[in-house]
Amino acid sequence: MLTSNVQNRALSSVPIRLAVSVMIACLTLTACNKDDKPAPSQVLAKVNDHEITVMQLNGMLRSVGNAAENATVKQSALDFLIDQEVLQQKAVDLKLDRDPDVMQAIEQAKRQILAAAALNKLQVKPLDPTDADVQKFYDGNPALFAQHASYEFSLFNLPVKDLPEALKTALNASHSVAETRQILEQAHQTFQEKHSLMAAEQVPVDLLSQLFKLKVGDILVRPEGNNLILVQLSRIDSQPLSLQESKERILSYLKQNALQDSSASKTAELRKAANVVYVKRFAEAAASAPTSSNLPAKTLNSGLKGF
Protein backbone atom coordinates (compact mmCIF):
# COMPACT_ATOMS: atom_id res chain seq x y z
CA MET A 1 0.00 0.00 0.00
CA LEU A 2 1.42 3.43 -0.97
CA THR A 3 0.66 6.32 1.41
CA SER A 4 1.59 10.10 1.36
CA ASN A 5 3.76 11.85 3.64
CA VAL A 6 28.12 17.62 17.31
CA GLN A 7 39.37 20.80 24.70
CA ASN A 8 41.68 18.67 23.72
CA ARG A 9 41.02 15.83 26.15
CA ALA A 10 37.85 14.90 27.90
CA LEU A 11 37.51 13.27 31.28
CA SER A 12 36.77 9.62 30.97
CA SER A 13 34.69 9.61 34.15
CA VAL A 14 33.30 13.16 34.14
CA PRO A 15 30.66 14.27 31.59
CA ILE A 16 32.11 16.30 28.74
CA ARG A 17 29.42 18.93 28.93
CA LEU A 18 30.19 19.49 32.63
CA ALA A 19 33.89 19.95 31.89
CA VAL A 20 33.22 22.39 29.07
CA SER A 21 30.71 24.31 31.19
CA VAL A 22 33.29 24.73 33.93
CA MET A 23 35.86 25.90 31.39
CA ILE A 24 33.43 28.48 30.01
CA ALA A 25 32.45 29.65 33.48
CA CYS A 26 36.10 30.08 34.47
CA LEU A 27 36.92 31.98 31.29
CA THR A 28 33.80 34.08 31.45
CA LEU A 29 33.26 34.99 35.05
CA THR A 30 37.00 34.95 36.05
CA ALA A 31 36.12 32.99 39.16
CA CYS A 32 39.82 32.48 39.89
CA ASN A 33 40.83 35.85 41.30
CA LYS A 34 44.58 35.81 41.93
CA ASP A 35 44.24 38.49 44.60
CA ASP A 36 42.03 36.26 46.74
CA LYS A 37 44.45 33.50 47.77
CA PRO A 38 42.78 30.59 49.56
CA ALA A 39 44.24 28.99 52.65
CA PRO A 40 47.18 26.66 51.81
CA SER A 41 45.16 23.62 52.93
CA GLN A 42 42.67 24.38 50.16
CA VAL A 43 45.28 24.33 47.39
CA LEU A 44 45.40 21.11 45.36
CA ALA A 45 47.93 22.09 42.70
CA LYS A 46 49.89 25.03 41.34
CA VAL A 47 50.38 25.91 37.70
CA ASN A 48 53.11 28.55 37.55
CA ASP A 49 51.75 31.31 39.83
CA HIS A 50 48.14 30.11 39.80
CA GLU A 51 46.58 27.82 42.42
CA ILE A 52 43.90 25.21 41.77
CA THR A 53 41.67 24.85 44.80
CA VAL A 54 39.29 22.42 46.44
CA MET A 55 36.47 24.82 45.63
CA GLN A 56 37.18 24.59 41.92
CA LEU A 57 37.32 20.80 42.05
CA ASN A 58 34.11 20.54 44.04
CA GLY A 59 32.36 22.86 41.63
CA MET A 60 33.38 20.63 38.76
CA LEU A 61 32.25 17.45 40.49
CA ARG A 62 29.01 18.84 41.89
CA SER A 63 26.71 17.16 39.41
CA VAL A 64 28.31 13.70 39.21
CA GLY A 65 26.70 12.42 42.40
CA ASN A 66 28.31 9.60 44.34
CA ALA A 67 31.03 9.28 41.69
CA ALA A 68 32.56 12.49 43.12
CA GLU A 69 33.89 10.43 46.06
CA ASN A 70 35.81 8.11 43.77
CA ALA A 71 39.57 8.83 43.96
CA THR A 72 40.07 8.11 40.26
CA VAL A 73 37.30 10.51 39.29
CA LYS A 74 38.74 13.21 41.55
CA GLN A 75 42.22 12.77 40.10
CA SER A 76 40.87 12.86 36.55
CA ALA A 77 39.00 16.06 37.34
CA LEU A 78 42.09 17.63 38.96
CA ASP A 79 44.25 16.68 35.97
CA PHE A 80 41.66 18.22 33.68
CA LEU A 81 41.72 21.46 35.67
CA ILE A 82 45.53 21.50 35.43
CA ASP A 83 45.44 20.96 31.66
CA GLN A 84 42.76 23.63 31.41
CA GLU A 85 44.84 26.13 33.39
CA VAL A 86 47.93 25.43 31.26
CA LEU A 87 45.91 26.16 28.13
CA GLN A 88 44.23 29.22 29.63
CA GLN A 89 47.60 30.71 30.62
CA LYS A 90 48.93 30.04 27.13
CA ALA A 91 45.86 31.69 25.61
CA VAL A 92 46.48 34.83 27.67
CA ASP A 93 50.20 34.72 26.73
CA LEU A 94 49.15 34.63 23.07
CA LYS A 95 46.70 37.49 23.73
CA LEU A 96 43.83 35.28 22.57
CA ASP A 97 41.69 36.80 25.31
CA ARG A 98 41.74 39.96 23.16
CA ASP A 99 40.80 38.18 19.96
CA PRO A 100 37.40 39.51 18.76
CA ASP A 101 35.97 36.03 18.14
CA VAL A 102 37.11 34.79 21.56
CA MET A 103 35.75 37.90 23.28
CA GLN A 104 32.42 37.42 21.54
CA ALA A 105 32.31 33.74 22.53
CA ILE A 106 33.11 34.64 26.16
CA GLU A 107 30.36 37.26 26.20
CA GLN A 108 27.88 34.82 24.71
CA ALA A 109 28.85 32.17 27.27
CA LYS A 110 28.38 34.74 30.05
CA ARG A 111 24.92 35.57 28.76
CA GLN A 112 23.99 31.89 28.66
CA ILE A 113 25.29 31.23 32.18
CA LEU A 114 23.48 34.25 33.64
CA ALA A 115 20.26 33.46 31.78
CA ALA A 116 20.33 29.86 33.08
CA ALA A 117 21.03 31.12 36.61
CA ALA A 118 18.08 33.52 36.40
CA LEU A 119 15.74 30.78 35.25
CA ASN A 120 16.94 28.48 38.01
CA LYS A 121 16.29 31.22 40.55
CA LEU A 122 12.92 32.42 39.28
CA GLN A 123 11.04 29.45 37.91
CA VAL A 124 8.65 27.52 40.10
CA LYS A 125 9.40 23.81 40.39
CA PRO A 126 6.54 21.94 38.69
CA LEU A 127 4.44 19.49 40.64
CA ASP A 128 5.46 15.86 40.30
CA PRO A 129 3.40 13.90 37.75
CA THR A 130 0.52 11.93 39.24
CA ASP A 131 -0.35 8.32 38.54
CA ALA A 132 -3.11 9.64 36.32
CA ASP A 133 -0.57 11.65 34.31
CA VAL A 134 1.57 8.55 33.84
CA GLN A 135 -1.44 6.50 32.79
CA LYS A 136 -2.55 9.14 30.31
CA PHE A 137 0.89 9.31 28.69
CA TYR A 138 1.12 5.52 28.55
CA ASP A 139 -2.31 5.20 26.96
CA GLY A 140 -1.70 8.08 24.57
CA ASN A 141 1.47 6.58 23.10
CA PRO A 142 0.78 2.91 22.40
CA ALA A 143 3.60 2.71 19.83
CA LEU A 144 6.09 3.40 22.63
CA PHE A 145 4.55 1.16 25.24
CA ALA A 146 1.56 -1.18 24.98
CA GLN A 147 2.29 -1.94 21.32
CA HIS A 148 6.05 -1.28 21.44
CA ALA A 149 7.99 -2.97 18.65
CA SER A 150 11.20 -2.96 16.63
CA TYR A 151 10.81 -1.98 13.00
CA GLU A 152 12.87 -3.23 10.08
CA PHE A 153 12.51 -1.11 6.98
CA SER A 154 14.29 0.06 3.84
CA LEU A 155 14.70 3.66 2.70
CA PHE A 156 14.74 4.51 -1.00
CA ASN A 157 16.02 8.06 -1.60
CA LEU A 158 14.76 9.42 -4.92
CA PRO A 159 16.06 12.77 -6.29
CA VAL A 160 12.58 13.86 -7.42
CA LYS A 161 9.77 15.94 -5.96
CA ASP A 162 6.97 13.78 -7.33
CA LEU A 163 6.40 10.40 -8.92
CA PRO A 164 4.83 9.71 -12.29
CA GLU A 165 1.38 8.16 -12.00
CA ALA A 166 2.53 4.93 -13.66
CA LEU A 167 5.33 4.54 -11.12
CA LYS A 168 2.92 5.27 -8.26
CA THR A 169 0.63 2.54 -9.52
CA ALA A 170 3.46 0.04 -9.82
CA LEU A 171 4.79 0.83 -6.34
CA ASN A 172 1.30 0.52 -4.92
CA ALA A 173 1.37 -3.13 -5.97
CA SER A 174 4.76 -3.82 -4.35
CA HIS A 175 4.78 -6.02 -1.26
CA SER A 176 8.52 -6.43 -0.67
CA VAL A 177 11.80 -4.50 -0.79
CA ALA A 178 12.99 -6.67 -3.68
CA GLU A 179 9.87 -5.83 -5.71
CA THR A 180 10.26 -2.10 -5.02
CA ARG A 181 13.91 -2.17 -6.05
CA GLN A 182 13.02 -3.97 -9.27
CA ILE A 183 10.20 -1.53 -10.07
CA LEU A 184 12.50 1.48 -9.64
CA GLU A 185 15.23 -0.10 -11.74
CA GLN A 186 12.82 -0.98 -14.55
CA ALA A 187 11.53 2.61 -14.52
CA HIS A 188 15.16 3.81 -14.82
CA GLN A 189 14.58 5.79 -11.63
CA THR A 190 17.80 6.88 -9.85
CA PHE A 191 17.75 6.00 -6.16
CA GLN A 192 19.88 5.22 -3.10
CA GLU A 193 18.87 2.40 -0.78
CA LYS A 194 19.49 2.01 2.94
CA HIS A 195 18.38 -0.69 5.36
CA SER A 196 17.44 0.13 8.99
CA LEU A 197 16.42 -1.75 12.11
CA MET A 198 15.22 0.43 15.01
CA ALA A 199 13.31 0.02 18.24
CA ALA A 200 10.32 2.34 18.58
CA GLU A 201 12.15 4.73 20.95
CA GLN A 202 14.93 5.24 18.36
CA VAL A 203 12.62 6.22 15.52
CA PRO A 204 11.83 9.94 15.02
CA VAL A 205 8.41 10.43 16.55
CA ASP A 206 6.68 11.71 13.42
CA LEU A 207 7.96 8.68 11.47
CA LEU A 208 6.99 6.31 14.28
CA SER A 209 3.43 7.60 14.26
CA GLN A 210 3.25 6.63 10.58
CA LEU A 211 5.15 3.32 10.75
CA PHE A 212 2.85 2.30 13.58
CA LYS A 213 -0.10 2.33 11.18
CA LEU A 214 1.57 0.33 8.40
CA LYS A 215 1.49 -3.34 7.62
CA VAL A 216 4.54 -5.30 6.47
CA GLY A 217 5.14 -4.48 2.80
CA ASP A 218 3.44 -1.06 2.90
CA ILE A 219 5.32 1.93 1.51
CA LEU A 220 5.32 5.38 3.10
CA VAL A 221 6.24 8.41 0.94
CA ARG A 222 8.02 11.23 2.82
CA PRO A 223 9.12 14.51 1.15
CA GLU A 224 12.67 15.51 2.16
CA GLY A 225 13.63 18.83 0.56
CA ASN A 226 13.84 18.22 -3.18
CA ASN A 227 13.80 14.43 -2.72
CA LEU A 228 11.26 11.77 -1.94
CA ILE A 229 12.00 9.04 0.58
CA LEU A 230 10.17 5.75 0.19
CA VAL A 231 10.00 3.91 3.51
CA GLN A 232 9.03 0.27 3.08
CA LEU A 233 8.29 -1.78 6.18
CA SER A 234 9.69 -5.31 5.95
CA ARG A 235 9.32 -6.68 9.51
CA ILE A 236 7.71 -5.82 12.86
CA ASP A 237 9.02 -7.46 16.03
CA SER A 238 6.45 -6.89 18.76
CA GLN A 239 7.95 -6.09 22.21
CA PRO A 240 5.08 -4.71 24.37
CA LEU A 241 5.93 -2.88 27.60
CA SER A 242 3.57 -2.86 30.58
CA LEU A 243 2.70 0.27 32.54
CA GLN A 244 4.77 -1.00 35.47
CA GLU A 245 7.81 -1.56 33.24
CA SER A 246 7.47 1.92 31.76
CA LYS A 247 6.46 3.96 34.83
CA GLU A 248 9.89 5.21 36.00
CA ARG A 249 10.92 6.24 32.50
CA ILE A 250 7.62 8.01 31.90
CA LEU A 251 7.94 9.85 35.24
CA SER A 252 11.47 10.98 34.35
CA TYR A 253 10.34 12.19 30.93
CA LEU A 254 7.29 14.03 32.25
CA LYS A 255 9.36 15.76 34.98
CA GLN A 256 11.94 16.90 32.44
CA ASN A 257 9.28 18.10 30.04
CA ALA A 258 7.39 19.97 32.79
CA LEU A 259 10.62 21.73 33.78
CA GLN A 260 11.25 22.75 30.18
CA ASP A 261 7.69 24.04 29.88
CA SER A 262 8.11 25.99 33.14
CA SER A 263 11.30 27.57 31.79
CA ALA A 264 9.58 28.54 28.55
CA SER A 265 6.62 29.97 30.45
CA LYS A 266 8.82 32.07 32.76
CA THR A 267 10.85 33.35 29.80
CA ALA A 268 7.66 34.32 27.97
CA GLU A 269 6.39 36.08 31.11
CA LEU A 270 9.61 38.09 31.51
CA ARG A 271 9.65 38.96 27.82
CA LYS A 272 6.08 40.20 27.96
CA ALA A 273 6.97 42.49 30.88
CA ALA A 274 10.04 43.86 29.07
CA ASN A 275 10.02 46.66 26.52
CA VAL A 276 11.06 44.76 23.38
CA VAL A 277 11.27 46.73 20.14
CA TYR A 278 12.39 45.15 16.87
CA VAL A 279 14.57 47.52 14.87
CA LYS A 280 14.67 44.92 12.13
CA ARG A 281 12.81 41.65 11.63
CA PHE A 282 13.88 38.84 9.34
CA ALA A 283 10.65 36.84 9.47
CA GLU A 284 7.48 36.43 11.45
CA ALA A 285 7.64 34.09 14.45
CA ALA A 286 7.65 30.47 13.30
CA ALA A 287 4.38 28.65 13.86
CA SER A 288 4.39 25.74 16.25
CA ALA A 289 4.69 22.39 14.53
CA PRO A 290 1.38 20.55 14.71
CA THR A 291 1.33 17.13 16.32
CA SER A 292 -1.41 14.57 16.54
CA SER A 293 0.15 12.64 19.43
CA ASN A 294 0.49 13.46 23.12
CA LEU A 295 4.18 14.18 22.57
CA PRO A 296 5.40 17.79 22.47
CA ALA A 297 6.43 19.21 19.12
CA LYS A 298 10.11 19.45 20.15
CA THR A 299 10.37 15.65 20.17
CA LEU A 300 9.18 15.23 16.60
CA ASN A 301 12.60 15.17 14.94
CA SER A 302 14.36 12.65 17.19
CA GLY A 303 13.59 9.39 18.89
CA LEU A 304 12.80 9.24 22.59
CA LYS A 305 16.00 7.41 23.59
CA GLY A 306 15.09 7.82 27.26
CA PHE A 307 12.51 5.17 26.73
Instruction: Give dist(CA 45, CA 53) in Å, integer.
Output: 7
Give the pLDDT confidence of 103-114 residue by residue, as tens digits: 999 999 999 999
User: Taking 60 as the threshold, does the pLDDT of residue 298 lie above it?
Assistant: no
Query: Where do the domains of the chain lie, and which CATH numbers do they carry?
Result: 8-122 (no CATH), 149-238 (3.10.50)
Q: Which is higher by pLDDT, 7 or 162?
A: 162
Between the CA of residue 201 and those of 62, 65, 145, 196, what are the distances in Å?
A: 30, 27, 9, 14
| CB neighbour burial string for 175-194, b if at least 16 within 10 angstroms, e if fewer | eebeebbebbeeeebebeee
Mean pLDDT throughout 283-297?
52
Q: 269 Cβ partners below 8 Å, 6+ apart?
A: none
**Percent of the chain scored above 90 by pLDDT?**
67
d(CA 77, CA 104): 27
Specify the pTM.
Answer: 0.62
236-261 pLDDT tens trace: 999 999 999 999 999 999 999 999 99
Sign of the CA dihedral running 290, 292, 298, 299: negative
Q: Please state, in angstroms and rounded to a whole number, the distance separating the CA atoms of residues 172 and 72.
A: 60
Euclidean distance between CA atoms 98 and 222, whole angstroms: 49
pLDDT at 206: 86
Residue 200 CA to residue 207 CA, distance in Å, equals 10
